[in-house]
Amino acid sequence: MPRYKLIVEYDGTPYVGWQWQDNGRAAQQALEEALTAFTGEKLRVQCAGRTDAGVHATHQVVHVDLARDWRPDKVRDATNAHLKLQRDSVAVVDAQVVDATFDARHSAVRRHYLYRILNRRPQPALERHRVWHVPRALDAAAMHEAAQLLLGKHDFTTFRAADCQATSPIRTLERLDVERIGEEVRIFASARSFLHHQVRSMTGTLELVGAGKWAPTDVRAALDARQRSRCGPMAPADGLYLVGVDYGIEA
């Protein structure tokens, strides 16, 4: 039974999140239904990282075991044909056969996220639901300075969702860079794993720094407090993207 690694992208706007839920259609559901329509098998895929409702992905990684030894390009193209038929905003970008020991989630050593803020007075037309529109001026350099105070191994309780199911709030944040590219402020975050809502919580807090409401040292004080009440407002899901997953030995 060959195992396939799929690189998947999706617009999270119409979905209740990556994972199957009772209250609406999920990106996982769309992918699995397309794979089933193609192969005739009842399948479950495993992903590198579950995303919330409205969150997008340009590089989600999943693995799936198929009964037949299909060519990888056939798996990609046939699955996409069924996704297109169902008008789902999900696409398989790449497919390859991997060793049976590869696990999309547990083999991952690093995950990368991008958060996009459209920082201009007019609201977005073409990028609606794909950016966080912040009309007030933001100082990206100040946001970056504050972001560096969050790097390293810490108790991130302040930036953790109240219903987070992780057994520990301790995480090691490897990268948190903020840069301005034209009208966009972009935040890049990398770690082995993140707590539920961690990136969106950090982004909302950094926005306060960019707007001049907080000083960079206030961000560090909030982290050290280890209290959810000290976090800034959580940024919306619209601007968040899963953009990469690293593995120790690339399959």
Q: Which residues are catalytic?
A: 52
Q: Alpha carbon of 132 to those of 12, 56, 81, 93, 215: distances in Å?
A: 14, 13, 31, 26, 22
Task: Please count the other Cβ atoms lying within 10 Å of the Cβ belonging to residue 99.
Answer: 11
Q: CB of 184 within 8 A of CB of 131? A: yes
Q: CB of 14 within 8 A of CB of 30? A: no
Question: 5-18 burial, b if ≥16 CB within 10 A, otherwise e?
Answer: bbbbbbbbebbbbb
Beta strands in the chain (DSSP E): 3-10, 46-47, 56-65, 90-98, 108-118, 132-133, 152-155, 170-181, 184-191, 240-247
- Rounded CA-CA distance 94/77 in Å is 9
Query: Do the strands 46-47 and 56-65 form a parallel or antiparallel pair, or are they unpaired?
Result: antiparallel
